């Protein structure tokens, strides 16, 4: 195929989506990173994301402002809900209602404007089994909806949702990224990193990250508070 | 049923969505209006919407800021694309990529936070046949995705997408609204109304509105420039 394929990559600057961006680049895609400023508690992830995407070779990087605080309902968007420390049972309070659906929808609009035929999203059904919108059956249903939703779909071309991390453990994601040259020191996964982007080391996301490096047999390069 | 049902109503303050809000209220729903400030060319629709929802009896009205100008691609969000006058062929340039999907997704998140079980959207397959995301098969696919996307869906309850206007002509929508007491003078449909909310009378949306009143045999109360 002589024409370069284009992809929108949902990219937060965290461990998973940085591996995802590296994977899309390694597969030869011209990549368009897409991040959201959705009323998270800190902007350090977003700043890390902008620096990373540029150094990794993304074609462009758009940040969409979307104030999900107006609807609330999650520890990540509502200052009245505490971010829990350690593992939680069932659907965690850090779950943001409909977040992946909202992000995928906007990515679909961006892909339509770019005439890109792929959207990469770093959902993971292993570590995030508590999130309904990380399940493979959810992604399949989104794909079916996307096949009917866009101008391209009317004109006979659809947008593929790519989820290369969906079946990988955190350790497998880290090994994949190491093989692709990802510098994990520059990625921020923490739900409540401080203003300098230093991770707390205690929240669910930090715990999964620590355990992942441990299981991968790789020394964790993350600076913690 | 003794418990009052709740619904999120996607509400722009235009002719269709005002009829929709009146319909949801008439069906006994406790209604939560949801509007978007997505970089439209004018804020007059939004102002009309806030006044209308209050006077009609909505429980609450949230406006979500979402800057779709960052992705562009439509005459409604990109100042470089002209709003056409008169009818257009195929998918019009006023189509905003993935707009209904984005709006429905955020409504789904809001419904999840409210524990509401219905979302009302004023899509219409008759007059807007050029928009892929106004087709009944698209709405069905969104419903299937929604059935897998939310915390409620995991816990056995899903959110119903209600589209009471989907098969109605503009004249039928107007007759429905007149029967429900809608004051159409207060609604703004125009793609390029001026700062005072006065409609241009020339764009596709104004044309459909004029023709609708004509076909309904009702005098058009809209002030035009």
CATH number for the domain spanning A44: value is 3.40.50.620
| Predicted local confidence at residue A169, as pLDDT | 93
Classify residue A201: in a domain, yes or no: yes
Residue B40's pLDDT band (boundaries 50, 70, 90)? low
Do A141 and B149 lie within an 8 Å CB cutoff? Answer: yes
Residues from B contacting A (CB-CB < 8 Å) are 62-68, 70-73, 91, 95-102, 104-106, 108-110, 112-113, 132-133, 135, 137-138, 141-142, 144-151, 153-154
Residues A131-153 pLDDT 10s: 788 899 999 999 999 999 886 66
pTM over 0.95: no
Classify residue B222: in a domain, yes or no: no
Residue A71: exposure state from Cβ atoms within 10 A (0-12, 13-18, ≥19): buried
Tell me which chain B residue has its CA closest to the CA of residue A112. Answer: B97
Average pLDDT, chain B: 84
Q: B91 pLDDT exceeds 70?
A: no
Classify residue A154: in a domain, yes or no: yes
Do A110 and B71 lie within an 8 Å CB cutoff? Answer: yes
Classify residue B224: in a domain, yes or no: no
Classify residue B194: in a domain, yes or no: yes
Residue A155's pLDDT band (boundaries 50, 70, 90)? low
Classify residue B146: in a domain, yes or no: yes
Classify residue B221: in a domain, yes or no: no
Tell me which chain B residue has its CA closest to the CA of residue A106. Answer: B102
8-state DSSP, A70: G
Do A141 and B148 lie within an 8 Å CB cutoff? Answer: yes
Residues B6-24 pLDDT 10s: 999 999 888 999 999 999 9
Query: Residue A16 belongs to what domain range?
Result: 6-216
Classify residue A1: in a domain, yes or no: no
- Number of domains within chain B: 1
**Interface predicted TM-score of the whole assembly (ipTM), two decimals:** 0.85
Residues A18-75 pLDDT 10s: 999 999 999 999 999 999 887 665 676 777 789 999 999 999 999 988 877 777 666 5
Alpha-carbon gap, residue A164 to B172, rounded angstroms: 48
**Which residue, among B106, B107, B129, B130, would best test binding to A if mutated, counting the most A CBs under 10 Å from its CB?**
B106
Residues from A contacting B (CB-CB < 8 Å) are 62-68, 70-73, 91, 95-102, 104-106, 108-110, 112-113, 132-133, 135, 137-138, 141-142, 144-151, 153-154
Q: A180 pLDDT exceeds 90?
A: yes
DSSP string of chain B, one letter each residue: --SPPEEEEE--SSHHHHHHHHHHHHTT-EEEEEEEE---S-SHHHHHHHHHHHHHT-SEEEEEEB-GGGT--STTT-TTSPPPBS--SSS-TTPPTTHHHHHHHHHHHHHHHHT--EEE----TTTTTT-GGGSHHHHHHHHHHHHHHSHHHHTT--PEEE-TTTT--HHHHHHHHHHTT--GGG----TT--TT--B-S-BHHHHHHHHHHHHHT------B-
């Amino acid at each position: 195929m002589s024409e370069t394929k284009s992809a929108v990559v949902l990219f937060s600057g965290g461990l998973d989506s940085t591996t995802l961006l590296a994977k899309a680049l390694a597969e030869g895609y011209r990549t368009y990173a897409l991040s959201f400023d959705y009323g998270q508690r800190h902007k350090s992830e977003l700043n890390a994301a902008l620096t990373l995407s540029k150094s990794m070779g993304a074609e462009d990087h758009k940040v969409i402002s979307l104030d999900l605080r107006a609807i609330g309902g999650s520890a990540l968007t509502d200052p009245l809900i505490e971010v829990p420390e350690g593992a939680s049972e069932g659907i965690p309070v850090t779950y943001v209602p409909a977040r992946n659906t909202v992000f995928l929808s906007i990515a679909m609009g961006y892909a339509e404007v770019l005439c890109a035929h792929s959207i990469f999203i770093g959902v993971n059904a292993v570590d995030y089994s508590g999130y309904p919108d990380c399940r493979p059956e959810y992604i399949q249903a989104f794909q079916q909806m996307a096949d009917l939703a866009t101008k391209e779909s009317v004109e006979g071309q659809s947008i593929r949702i790519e989820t290369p991390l969906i079946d990988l453990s955190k350790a497998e994601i880290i090994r994949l990224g190491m093989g692709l040259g990802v510098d994990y020191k520059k990625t921020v996964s923490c739900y409540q990193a401080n203003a300098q982007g230093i991770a707390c080391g205690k929240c669910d996301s930090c715990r999964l990250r620590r355990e992942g490096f441990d299981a991968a047999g790789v020394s964790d390069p993350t600076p913690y508070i």
